[in-house]
Amino acid sequence: MDRYKKVLLGCTILTTLSSPAFADEFDPFVEFLVFGGIASLDAGDSTIRITSQETDQLVQTNENDWKAWTGQVGLGYVAQFAEELSSGEVDWFPIINPQINVYYLGGEDIEGDVWRFQDPNFNQADYSMKFHSTRLMFDLALTIAQIERLSIYAIGGLGIAWNEIDFNARSTEVCPIEDVSLNSNNDNSFAYEFGGGLTYAAFDSMAISLEYLYTGFNNIGLGDHNDDVNDQGLDVKASDIDIHSQAVLLGLRFAL
């Protein structure tokens, strides 16, 4: 199979290898991809309601740690987008690539400080959240430019995520509220992603890709109270748990 003699694969996109006359020879085809990489998790400006009178700010302290890991498998349909947008040795927007991808993300706790009443002067607790997510995404990738065997692409997508989250907070000072530990919660959420990358067609039917991907998980719910929380008379609820990730993935793509 010599399809990759005609096509450069991106991390979620393919670009042609042939001359500017490739439009007369290009045949759409299906491809399989598999990627893995590292990621960082960011809880942003999330808040949590402790009682009906108190809402606390969660201030992450490890948002720049790239200690999570991520994996991806998917199928795509490689189709021609533009036929004659060439300038010298550069082909512009030659390929569009809709894909169905499954991602997994996890392996790092989100940690930080708890500002009571959202006031930095009342930094009286630390928190830790375990977060794991599997998401199903419809991605659409577009090759921006291709020069011989090297190409650059952009990608964006929407989908649904199945998340597991555990929340624990521990007091660092003597205060009316002691430790808070919530039961693990499985919660579905809307997910979106966008990014871009480079690809190099190393072999006739396989290409190597490097990609950056930003992903957002909106409005994730925390778990129910456990007995210890109920004994304190607390009413812990998430006001706004929005988690984001940045990932760098290295992967392979195969023509089917």
Of 52, 60, 51, the closest CA to residue 176 belongs to: 51
Phi-psi region of 219 (alpha: psi -120 to 50; beta: other; left: phi over 0): left
Q: Which residue has the higher pLDDT, 74 or 177?
A: 74
Cut 0.75: pTM above it: yes
Residue 108 CB burial class (10 angstroms; 0-12, 13-18, ≥19): buried
pLDDT at 9: 41
Tokens of 200: 């190099």
Q: Which of 182-186, 232-236, 249-253 has the lowest mean pLDDT?
A: 232-236
Q: What residue segments make up the domains of the chain, in order of their start?
A: 3-255
121 backbone dihedrals φ, ψ, rounded to 5°: -75, -15
Q: Are the C-beta atoms of residues 57 and 29 closer than 8 Å to each other?
A: no
At 212, is the pLDDT very low, low, confident or very high (cuts 50, 70, 90)? Answer: very high
Given a cut of 80, is residue 18 above it in pLDDT?
no
Tokens of 1: 């199979």
At 14, is the pLDDT very low, low, confident or very high (cuts 50, 70, 90)? Answer: very low
pLDDT at 77: 93
Q: Are the C-beta atoms of residues 246 and 43 closer than 8 Å to each other?
A: no
In the CATH hierarchy, which fold is given to the domain comprising 3-255? Porin (2.40.160)
Q: How far, in Å, CA of 15 to CA of 33, rounded?
A: 15
